[in-house]
Amino acid sequence: MKTWGKIRAKKFFSSESVSDAVTPIIGSLLMLMVLVALASVTAISFSNIANEGKSTQPLMAKISLESCEGGLPNAGKGQGATFENNKIMLINEGGNPLPLDAISIKISGYGKSYRPAIEPGTKGYITGNISLLYLDLSSQGKNPTYYPINNKATLEDGSWNVGERLVLCGQDSAEGATKSTVEVSVDGDSDTSDNYGFKVGSEIILKIIDTKSSNVIAEQRAIVKHYEG
């Protein structure tokens, strides 16, 4: 009986010792798992905050207006120019690369546009205060004869990068059934072919806008010089 009691006592002691040894290990593993989970949640939260902050930061760039040449169709000597010879040249001199599909340009000035034959007697040039809007700066909805050729380098990667030029032309609007992303109205009348020419000696006001935030990235003024070719 004494022997059996010793054996039972020994077994009981051994089981308790193993339990005492395992419990701290399990506790440590659980603690480690909790810490890893908390670290993952924290990392994801910081990542989301960083990405959200990055996406809401306004685009900033220094845009200069290098030249503005043009004239009006059928105007006199020193004043006349075709729509395609009305050209505005801009350059990104510093700041962010500007995504072409997220930037719009508004231009106002005095000039001409062409009105198609909407009804008998309406066809012809109309003159007045022009409101011009490039909905975006991509090649979509533009005249393939002018815009992509004048801006080949800028269009390559979809961004207007520092050092690159952007050329706007009075004949940039799409033709035919393609919906134009260049819109032109004259004295509030939007029934035009979305082409434009500005009067020599008049002033234009140009605004470059971050479409998403409606923030004006740059604003420039220029006096239209006669196109000399």
pLDDT digits (tens, 9 = 90+) for 149-183: 999 999 999 999 999 999 999 999 998 889 999 99
Residue 214 pLDDT > 50: yes
Work out the pLDDT band at 2, boundaries 50, 70, 90: very low
Q: 180 and 141 in contact (C-beta within 8 Å)?
A: yes
The span from the first CA to the last CA of the chain, in angstroms, equals 121
The reported pLDDT for the residue numbered 168 is 98
What is the Cα–Cα distance from 42 to 171, expressed in whole angstroms?
54
pLDDT in tens, 16-71: 554 555 566 776 777 777 676 666 655 555 555 445 545 567 889 999 999 999 99
- Please report, for the chain, the start and end positions of each structural domain, with discontinuous segments joined by +: 20-53, 61-226
Residue closest to 92 by CA, chosen among 168, 166, 169: 166
> Is pTM beyond 0.85 here?
no
Look at residue 73 and tell me whether its pLDDT is greater than 70. Answer: yes
| Residues whose CB is less than 8 angstroms from the CB of residue 203 and which lie 6 or more positions away in sequence, other chains included | 109, 221, 222, 223, 224
* pLDDT tens-digit series, residues 182-205: 999 999 999 999 999 999 999 999
Q: What phi and psi values does residue 89 have, to the nearest 5 degrees?
A: -110, 125
Tokens, residue 180: 């134009």
